[in-house]
Amino acid sequence: MKQNSPENRKQKLFKQLYIIGITGGVGAGKSSVLAVIRDRYQGWVIQADEVGHRLRKPGKPIHQWMVREYGEAVLFGDGTINPRAVAALAFRDEEAMKRLNGATHPLIREEILRELKEKEASLPEGTVGVVALEAALLKEGNLSGLCDEIWYIHAPKETRISRLMESRGYTRERCGEIMSRQADEETFLREADLVIENGSSVHKMEEQISRRLETVLQEQKENT
């Protein structure tokens, strides 16, 4: 377990929440890790992509920004956002991508903060709740500073490809294309405090999570 890096972590914002950032490449099995935290430890799960999806609904902040930025050409007939139309405009060059991220990331972070405050307010005094905050790269969305620690979920490349081909019906070529657009392993490792190996044995993955969370919960109990 690495010491939290000062450049990645700020002071603890939530006295009654212990927030674990969950990150890793596509096919690494992040969903399985989130399920263990949710089902075995009654943890709350927040996924940045899902938050972004909610904020793209009509009347929500990201939807409003996209219509202002790109016009009604990015809307389906029912007024919802057409992701392919947005991608064609936002991914055309680096500047357009930076503009999209610069507008949407703060809105997603603001909504996540709101949810965290709401969750903490629901806890009885003197108790601590575990939160799993999942994002492809937490630092890019300015989310790493919300976390008490960050876990990198790791699986070998071939394992990830096999999972994607089986669960999503992707071709090997499609898997390679998606992986090539994601951060490399060194980037994930620089951000992480702990690596959870999730390549072969579900039991071993669960053991790693249990060992760490039992320690965390005991420490939090002693500090409250």
What are the Cα distances from residue 1, in Å, to 5, 43, 121, 138, 182? 12, 21, 30, 18, 24
Q: Judging by DSSP bridges, how do beta strands 44-47 and 129-134 pair with one another?
A: parallel
- Identify whether 210 is part of a domain: yes
Domain of 77 in residue numbering reads as 17-223
Asked if pLDDT for residue 31 goes beyond 80, the answer is yes
Domain harbouring 46, CATH code = 3.40.50.300
What tens digit of pLDDT does each residue of 198-211 get? Answer: 988 889 999 999 99
- Identify whether 113 is part of a domain: yes
What is the average pLDDT score of the chain? 90
pTM above threshold 0.85? yes
Asked if pLDDT for residue 36 goes beyond 80, the answer is yes
Predicted confidence at residue 2, as pLDDT, reads 58
In this predicted model, which residue has the larger pLDDT, 209 or 137? 209
- Identify whether 202 is part of a domain: yes
Predicted confidence at residue 112, as pLDDT, reads 97
Total domain count, the chain? 1
- Identify whether 192 is part of a domain: yes
Asked if pLDDT for residue 10 goes beyond 80, the answer is no
What tens digit of pLDDT does each residue of 40-96 get? Answer: 999 999 999 999 999 999 999 999 999 999 999 999 999 999 999 999 999 888 899
Predicted confidence at residue 1, as pLDDT, reads 60
- Identify whether 9 is part of a domain: no
Q: Of how many residues is the chain composed?
A: 224
Taking residue 216's Cβ as centre, other Cβ atoms within 10 Å add up to 17
- Identify whether 6 is part of a domain: no
Asked if pLDDT for residue 8 goes beyond 50, the answer is no
- Identify whether 44 is part of a domain: yes
Asked if pLDDT for residue 176 goes beyond 60, the answer is yes
Residues 20, 16: Cα–Cα separation, whole Å: 13
* pLDDT band at 3; cut points 50, 70, 90: very low
Residues 84, 12: Cα–Cα separation, whole Å: 38
- Identify whether 84 is part of a domain: yes
Q: Yes or no: say if 198 and 28 are a contact pair by the CB < 8 Å rule.
A: yes
